[in-house]
Amino acid sequence: MEFRFATIDDLNAIVSLENECFSSPYKEKDVIYELSENPFCNTLVIENNREIIGYLMYLITFDSSSIVRIGVKKNYRKQGIAFSLLTKCEEYLKEKQVEFFTLEVRESNLAAINLYEKFGFLKICVKKSYYDDGENAIYMMKGVF
């Protein structure tokens, strides 16, 4: 498996993963914006035999980074792919001298919350009615050292 940064050529694969992974997926225009227009956004992909099987989209602003999206193909889940993406991302963040890593996760997404806690994220607070459907988000943070 190989890591690399996404390009606009990866648009279809990322949109497909969005639709597979999220109840409110990004539209194609949103992914285009993040890949080619947002100067703060980076998208790391992991490939298996040249097929994108997962991605992690994150923002870097000054000394902090926020996970925007992380998705793994269903048939590759529970194999450490998301943890590997987080690990590789953290390596890049250290190079950029980023001090902390944040994210919001659906309160009901226990598998993701467990993953983030295993990776060292701490629950900071609950953001009430954060998502369009009214679900709360758990705000989590991790120091990058």
For the annotated catalytic residues, the residue numbers are 104, 116
Cα torsion for 71, 75, 81, 86, to the nearest 10°? 10
Take residue 59 and report the two structure tokens written for it.
């923002």
Residues in the chain: 145
What is the C-alpha to C-alpha distance for residues 54 and 35, in angstroms, rounded to an integer?
15
DSSP 79: S
19: Cα separation from own chain's centroid: 15
Of 19, 2, 13, nearest to 35 by C-alpha is 13
Rounded to 5 degrees, what are φ and ψ at 27?
-80, 165
Residue type, 14: I
